[in-house]
Amino acid sequence: MFSRGRSLQSVRAQRRRRRNFKIKLAAAILLIILFFGGLVFLLHLKNIRIQKVYPEGNKFLSDEEVRASVRDHLSGSAFLLFPKDNIFFYPRSAIEKAFLSKYPEIKTINVSFRDFESITVKLVERQQKALWCQTLSQSELPPCYLIDENGLIFRPAGEYSLSTFIRFTGGVSGDPINVQMMPSDEFQTDLLFTDALRKENLSIISVSLKEGGVREGELSVGGKIIWNADQDLSVALENLKTLLSNPSFKGKDKNGTVAVQYIDIQNSNKIFYKVK
């Protein structure tokens, strides 16, 4: 009798434990549902959802273009529950990566919190240093594109086609956007060289890129200066200055203006030129 009594008590205790466990489990599930339900409700509150986008530093891209691209990433919900435009969960990294992929004119981007209803999109755009044009035709305005300080072609020139930037042509085939026209160090060297020539009253208005690193720079006064990307341009410049100052140099008109068909400075030891 004693053994059977203990057995009944044990069964009843097990039943109580199971019932208590089920009650606690149900309560825990209810709390989780209430928690997530409350969280979803809070995340949908209007005063913590992004209503405004403030672009900064943009010149090539319009404010509305920036805002429209951001809105594309803020529409809809994540996991069908959380609004993507919530200030705490908006896809900041995805927005930044998308901008860098879509717009070659953007060098860096930072998307940041402004207040609980707005974000700031701070852009650093590439700076134009020259133009790349499909041709150097003087009779009509050819399609031209902007080049940054590293030699990257990043945007159609538009109104800048009429600017005083040096024009490059050649060296690129197909769609030029987001194409490295030449290695960065070569491009910067060419810009420094043409600037040095300008100080010697030899303004270069365009540069044609030829095979083997040959550059043909068209002078504003007519004629060409020919150099090579592989040579020491500091030496070439000094040799050229020596030539121009030599009284026996025949490539100047009566006003002292350089008047040549070309000056070829590719050879470190000799300079070849032909007068008009």
Residues 6+ apart with CB under 8 A from 125: 57, 58, 59, 60, 61, 105, 106, 107
Q: What percent of the chain has pLDDT over 70?
A: 88
Q: Is the pLDDT reported for residue 29 higher than 60?
A: yes
Task: Name which of 183, 207, 204, 185 is nearest 195 in CA terms.
Answer: 204
| Assigned token pair, 203 | 């303004």
| Averaged confidence pLDDT in the chain | 88
Query: CB burial class (10 A; 0-12, 13-18, 19+) of residue 34?
Result: exposed
pLDDT tens digits, one per residue of 176-202 = 999 999 999 999 999 999 999 999 999
The answer to whether residues 168 and 207 touch, using CB atoms and an 8 Å cutoff, is yes
How far is the first Cα of the chain from the last one, in angstroms, to the nearest whole number?
132
Query: CB burial class (10 A; 0-12, 13-18, 19+) of residue 59?
Result: exposed
Neighbouring CB atoms inside 10 A of 6's CB total 9
Q: Greater confidence, 219 or 7?
A: 219
- CA 93, 99, 100, 102 dihedral sign is positive
Query: CB burial class (10 A; 0-12, 13-18, 19+) of residue 2?
Result: exposed
pLDDT tens digits, one per residue of 106-164 = 999 999 999 999 999 999 999 999 999 988 765 566 789 999 999 999 999 987 777 78
Tell me how far apart the alpha carbons of residues 78 and 47 are, in angstroms, rounded to a whole number.
Answer: 19
The answer to whether residues 175 and 158 touch, using CB atoms and an 8 Å cutoff, is no
pLDDT tens digits, one per residue of 49-71 = 999 999 999 999 999 999 999 99
pTM of the model: 0.78
DSSP string, 122-171: EEEEPPP-EEEES---SSS---EEEE-TTSEEEEE-GGGGGSSSPEEESS
Residues 6+ apart with CB under 8 A from 112: 92, 119, 120, 122
| Assigned token pair, 243 | 């030539």
